[in-house]
Chain A
Amino acid sequence: MSQAVLANERPFGWTQRLICLYGIVWREGLRFLHQRERFISALVRPMVWLFIFAAGFRQTLGVSIMPPYDTYVLYEVYITPGLIAMIQLFNGMQSSLSMVYDREVGSMRMLLVSPAPRWFLLTSKLIAGVAVSILQVYAFLVVAYFWEIEPPTWWGYLTILPALALSGLMLGALGMLLSSVIKQLENFAGVMNFVIFPMFFASSALYPLWRVQQGSPWLATVCRLNPFTYSVELIRFAFYQQVDWLSLAVVLGCTVAFLGGAIIAYDPARGMLMRRGG
């Protein structure tokens, strides 16, 4: 940034950037409060899985003792971390689509004319989306609590928080990267079919990997290559006050890669935007 700023211009320092970050998160929160349908559907979707799907499969799918569980657990307990990650996956994809949409209606452009550096604006936008997804997850955990799904101790509600932040960042960054590649907002169905469903089903969200391995070794391999699996496992262990180091490493690595990709894609000089005039 130039040092030769004119008298009535203030350089955009870290105080200004903090104000900027705060403003972006605040707006996302306000929009979230105003979009009740979005909140309700974010809450109802995992509840359908929990109350209907999991209840139906309770007898069919017994889950044997495996870390982090030290007893047999009900299927509902097993899939809860997967449903939490699903909330974040949907939220990440929805905010990515809203970025495509925003870009068309112009509020993305409004964001990008801020004097703050582009990477900072994109990261702030990402953090705002993650904050909203964490609110949604805790709302779901309240419901789950009344369905008798709870961590071994209350600390689990605290130790899950960093895992949620990290997994939210990874999924949000993936969405942001997709938003720079998706040319037009057709509908949500394409993203559902080609991103959300494959990621969700080919993961450890609904079934433990060792059981997948028994049934279909190639699917187990796909699951192991799917970053979403590691989101789920990170959350599963964190809820039980444990750290799954492999998942932590994979989620961290993917977050850096996806966010880096998104920043390059949105870079004014190199990005996808200039090639097609978005």
Chain B
Amino acid sequence: MTTVVEATAKATVSALSVENVSHAYGARIALDEVSFDVAPSSFTVLLGLNGAGKSTLFSVITHLYVSRSGVVRIFGHDVARESGAALAALGVVFQQRTLDPDLSVAQNLAYHGALHGLGRRETRARGAIQLTRVGLADRTKDKVRFLSGGQMRRVEIARALLHRPRMLLLDEPTAGLDIKARAGILEVVRGLVADEGIGVLWATHLVDEIRDEDHVVVLHKSRVLADGPSRSIISAAGARSIGEAFTSLTGGGEGGEG
């Protein structure tokens, strides 16, 4: 196990901290002593193939269920014990589409605002700001059904930001999108990190979404194989790119498909 520890990020409270999280479905182990941190104002990539344990990890972080052991904290709030406070600080974009296609963009945002206890007027005002940020201010009244895949994703990002979370979780947000839409989504989310100081955990299996300065956590077969700045992982593995490093860490030529 090659662990690259970044010592500097430990000074402040982490946006997200995953400590020794293990989970199993019956005899099948899904997460094995997984630990890593996401610092505020950082873009952290959770890199792993399908079946690496990302879905289970996201279920545990979003409190769908509690892991068999270990602790997940969002800005210091234990997700299992203080789930209200933890979830209030967390924005989530799920891999599946979670917008109501028959409702308008504004109605979808209103529903989410209500789930977070925001009044109508406040939701509308915040929604307008977030939709402008993602470049969809003119589509407020349109039915979601008539948006493109990339636009839906951007609405989901705007929605996830409505309750002003300081930690944003995105599960394969670019899955099924074309190159241009992918770049657009990445730009929006990287902007959030730079401008708003939001901590981002971006789960993907696509190595070309990673920049050298990003923090990378490699999850493979339920375990964390590497955790650190992308360039450190590359040099530690003696590779030329993060894709090569991933392949050599996971010991196979199966990396970065799709």
Decide yes or no whether B8 CB sits under 8 A from chain A. no
Instruction: Collect the chain B residues with CB atoms within 8 Å of residue A268's CB.
Output: 63-66, 80, 83
Q: Complex Cα distance A27/B109, Å?
A: 11
Decide yes or no whether B213 CB sits under 8 A from chain A. no
Decide yes or no whether B153 CB sits under 8 A from chain A. no
Q: B71-87 toward A: CB 8 Å interface, digit per residue (1/0)?
A: 00001110010111101
- Contact call A6/B75, Cβ cutoff below 8 A: yes
Instruction: Collect the chain B residues with CB atoms within 8 Å of residue A31's CB.
Output: 100, 102-103
Q: Complex Cα distance A273/B64, Å?
A: 8
- In the complex, the chain A residue whose C-beta lies closest to that of B113 is A23
Instruction: Collect the chain A residues with CB atoms within 8 Å of residue B62's CB.
Output: 109, 112-113
Decide yes or no whether A153 CB sits under 8 A from chain B. no
Which of A8-16, A131-139, A141-149 is the contact stretch? A8-16
- Contact call B116/A115, Cβ cutoff below 8 A: yes
Residues of A1-52 contacting chain B, CB below 8 A? 1-2, 4-6, 8-12, 15-17, 19-20, 22-24, 26-27, 30-31, 34-35
* Additional pairs, 15, CB under 8 Å, beyond known A26-B111, A27-B107, A115-B85: A1-B85, A2-B82, A9-B89, A12-B117, A23-B113, A27-B103, A30-B103, A34-B102, A106-B94, A106-B98, A112-B63, A112-B64, A113-B90, A116-B117, A269-B65
- Contact call A110/B65, Cβ cutoff below 8 A: no
- Contact call A17/B114, Cβ cutoff below 8 A: no
How close is B67's CB to chain A, nearest CB, in angstroms? 8
Q: B137-173 toward A: CB 8 Å interface, digit per residue (1/0)?
A: 0000000000000000000000000001000000000
- Known interface pairs A5-B85, A6-B75; A20-B117 also in contact (CB < 8 Å): yes
Q: Complex Cα distance A9/B65, Å?
A: 23
How close is A263's CB to chain B, nearest CB, in angstroms? 14
Q: Complex Cα distance A128/B110, Å?
A: 16
| 6 A-B pairs closest in CB distance | A23-B114, A16-B117, A274-B65, A106-B96, A2-B82, A114-B115
- B contact residues, range: 35 or more
- In the complex, the chain B residue whose C-beta lies closest to that of A271 is B65
Q: Complex Cα distance A4/B164, Å?
A: 18
- In the complex, the chain B residue whose C-beta lies closest to that of A27 is B111
Can you give 13 contacting A-B residue pairs, CB < 8 Å?
A5-B88, A12-B84, A16-B116, A107-B100, A110-B112, A110-B115, A115-B116, A117-B84, A268-B66, A271-B65, A273-B64, A274-B23, A274-B65
- Contact call A23/B115, Cβ cutoff below 8 A: yes
- In the complex, the chain A residue whose C-beta lies closest to that of B117 is A16
Spell out A's residues near B (CB within 8 Å): 1-2, 4-6, 8-12, 15-17, 19-20, 22-24, 26-27, 30-31, 34-35, 104-107, 109-117, 268-269, 271, 273-278
- Quick one: which of B75, B85, B115 contacts A111, CB cutoff 8 A? B115
Decide yes or no whether B56 CB sits under 8 A from chain A. yes
- Quick one: which of B55, B92, B98 contacts A277, CB cutoff 8 A? B55
- In the complex, the chain B residue whose C-beta lies closest to that of A33 is B102
Decide yes or no whether B3 CB sits under 8 A from chain A. no
- In the complex, the chain A residue whose C-beta lies closest to that of B68 is A274
Q: Complex Cα distance A11/B83, Å?
A: 12
